Amino acid sequence: MNYIFIALRDAFKLIITLDPEVSNVVGTSLKLSLTSTFFAALLGIPLGILISKIEFKGKYLLNTILNTLLSLPTVVLGLFVYSVISRRGIFGEWGLLFTNKGIIIGQVLLILPIVVALVRNAIHDVDEKMYKTAISLGATGSQKFRLLISEARYGIIGALITSYGRVIGEVGVSMMLGGNIKGFTRTITTAIAMETNKGRFSFALALGIILLSISFIINFILYYFQSGESK
C-alpha cells in the first residue's frame, strides 16, 4: 500500500516541478486534441445544421448510422484508418502513419459524429416559433440564420466541449496511428499505458492526475454552458 503514497508524492513532484517529459506529453495531447476538435467543428457544425434543417431521402438511415458511430470503439476506428494510411493502404504514399497528422485524421473521424449529432440536436431543439418571429421582426435570410445559431449556441458549444473531452481521453487512435513515439506522437493516454507497463508508476500517475484535472475542467465548462441553457 505504501508504494501508492510514494508514487502519489512523486507524481505531484513531477507536476509541480513541470517535468519536461510530462510537459511535452501534455502539450502534445492538448495540441492534438484542440486541432482535431477545430477540424471536426469546421466540418461537423455545417453538417449538423444541414441534417437538421434539410429533408431528404435516407435521413432516417443517416441519423441511425450517426447515432451508432457515437459509440464507435476507438481501436476499431484506429484499425480502419490504419488500413487506409499504412504503407499498403490507398493513402500509404502520403506517409501519414505514426505522425501527428495521422492521429488528427483518426481523431477527427472519431469525434465528427459527436459534433454532427449534438449540433443537429441543438438546432432541432430551437423552437419552431423562432423562425416565424425572426421573419416578422424583419430578419433577412442571413440574419435569420445567425439568430438560429445564436439560439442554439449553448448546444453547439456543448458539442465542441464534449468532443474535446472525448478526444483527449482516447487511447486507441493515438496508439495505433501515432505509434507512441517519444517527444513526437506520445500523448497522455498512450504514455500512461506504456509507462505503467514499464513500471514508471509515478510518471503514469502524474499524467493520470493531469488528465483527470483536464476532464474536470472540461466538465466544469460544459456544465456552465448547459446551465446557461436553462438560465
d(CA 221, CA 122): 17
Residue type, 52: S
127 DSSP 8-state letter = -
The terminus-to-terminus CA distance of the chain in angstroms comes to 47
Instruction: Tell me the closest approach of the beta carbon of residue 19 to another protein, in angstroms.
Output: 44
Number of residues that bind another protein (CB under 8 A): 19
Site string for another protein, 172-211 (x = CB under 8 A): ----------------------------------------
Q: Contact with another protein (CB under 8 A): which of 139, 149, 194, 209? A: 139
Angle at which helices 188-198 and 20-53 cross, to 10°:
140
Cell numbers 488528465: residue:
211
Residue by residue, DSSP assigns 15-30 as HHTT-HHHHHHHHHHH
Q: Contact with another protein (CB under 8 A): which of 2, 71, 197, 230? A: 230
Q: Contact with another protein (CB under 8 A): which of 147, 149, 209, 221? A: 147
Give the interface segment with another protein, choosing from 47-55, 113-121, 138-146, 191-199 (CB under 8 A): 138-146
Q: If binding is defined by CB under 8 A, does position 124 make contact with another protein? A: no
Q: If binding is defined by CB under 8 A, does position 142 make contact with another protein? A: no
Q: If binding is defined by CB under 8 A, does position 132 make contact with another protein? A: yes
| 169 CA to centre of own chain | 8
Instruction: Tell me the closest approach of the beta carbon of residue 122 to another protein, in angstroms.
Output: 12
Q: If binding is defined by CB under 8 A, does position 20 make contact with another protein? A: no
Residue by residue, DSSP assigns 64-93 as HHHHHHTT--HHHHHHHHHHHHSTTSTTGG
Q: Contact with another protein (CB under 8 A): which of 75, 79, 130, 193? A: 130
d(CA 214, CA 29): 11
Where on the chain is the footprint of another protein (CB under 8 A)? 127, 129-130, 132-133, 135-141, 143, 147, 150-151, 153, 230-231
